[in-house]
Amino acid sequence: MSLLLAILISASSFDVDSVRYIAIDRLKEGRWIEAYEHATIILAHDPEDLFSLGLLKYAEYNGLVESLNPKYWMLITESAKKILDFWEKFSRTDSLNLNLLKVLAVASLGDPVRASPYIDLIIKLDTLSAGNYMMKGHVGRRTGNYDDAIRNYKKAYDLDSTMKDALVMLGNVYLRMDNIDSACVCFSTIPRGHPDYIVSRVFEILCHLKLGRIGQAETLFARIEPDIEENEAVFYGSGSIGTYIERLRAGSIQKTDTLILLTTGKSEPVRPLNGQSFEKYWPKIWPVAVLTSDNVDFIYGSRRITGPKMIELKPPLYPTELRRQKIEGSVAIVAFSDTNGSVMHVEVYSSSGHHAFDEAALAVVRKARLEPARILGMPIRTWIFVPINFKLMR
């Protein structure tokens, strides 16, 4: 940490603008990690600072940090449009600064129509960055311009052959175009150790099944089965993908049987709930395929999931001592919902700073009633975010 920054932080009144000014300088110099560190300092004082949230989004997207604090991940998700609006205005003051434009482009990826002109400008300024073509590929994929997506993902991989993410996304686009053979080739090239290794292997299995190559699917599954059990593939429906292959081979699968395959979209290991033990991060659930007795249908995005939805949540009991002291607070709780809508487990996601508030919030969420999440009408287990506020009557 610089001496100037230490002085700013130790001052009686924290000067956000001064720290932001330093972060902007680091950004322009390409010193991304230092800029990121300054952003986290700002967020410690103002957790909704749009400049800093945009910078953290960029850091996560480009792998500058191993994982984002879940609290900031949630804020970024909830404030995506505000972040984009802020960075759009902010970048106009220095529109030719490449590094500021890169943050803007990442901030705009959720809105591909708005993202496209910024990414085109970045590519003109920096024609040899594989990451720029990856962003352009994302825009093509999300707008349905698959030929453009393929061209840009291939360009990204040509510029940087270590960027296996480009092949993962290329396989995804080929699936959407029903080019199953090409998709299978892409997924088969993802090496062990890559965050998407297991998901890619699962997609490769599904491609073989889609093409009627049961033997190849069976062989590949036998090779990766131990990895699946310890990694990010989570299965719902009529047993596991291994069971599905066995029953398909034996001809014992029924027309009414359906296996829905979902992944968490995270690279960290995921394990099912085991008593009170589970991974402490916010998982994103993505449906990827529906397997029936005679077909494999791929699903794209999370729009096929509905819920979960809160049906009944009673007001929390206000802790007597905190009420007496006229203290207010907010707690964020995550709850794990079963297929019948009951709450299986609760955890404090973001503490109020007062143990009594946290415990009162946990108690009320444990008794909540939920409409379970569903995919294609089938109820599934998933997480729900529950904010609890303690406010005094005025």
3-state secondary structure of 95: coil
Report pLDDT digits (tens) over 126-148: 899 898 999 999 999 988 999 99
**Span 66-85, mean pLDDT?**
74
Local confidence band at 275 (pLDDT 50, 70, 90 cut-offs): very low
pLDDT of 60 higher than 90: no
Cβ atoms within 10 Å of 195's Cβ, excluding its own: 17
Highest mean pLDDT among 155-159, 247-251, 304-308: 155-159
Report pLDDT digits (tens) over 298-344: 766 555 667 778 899 999 999 999 999 999 988 888 887 888 888 88
The reported pLDDT for the residue numbered 146 is 95
* DSSP assigned state of 344: E
Residue 207 tokens read as 């491609």
3-state secondary structure of 70: helix
CA neighbor of 25 nearest in space, from 47, 4, 46: 4
Query: Is the CATH number 3.40.50 carried by domain 3-156?
Result: no
Q: Would you identify the CATH topology of the domain 305-390? A: TolA/TonB C-terminal domain (3.30.2420)
The reported pLDDT for the residue numbered 114 is 86
Contact present, 330 and 352 (Cβ < 8 Å): yes
Local confidence band at 366 (pLDDT 50, 70, 90 cut-offs): very high
Which positions ≥6 away from 263 have C-beta within 8 Å?
Answer: 199, 202, 232, 233, 234, 285, 286, 288
Ordered by start, the domain boundaries in the chain are: 3-156, 195-298, 305-390
What's the predicted TM-score (pTM) here? Answer: 0.69
**Span 151-157, mean pLDDT?**
96
3-state secondary structure of 144: coil
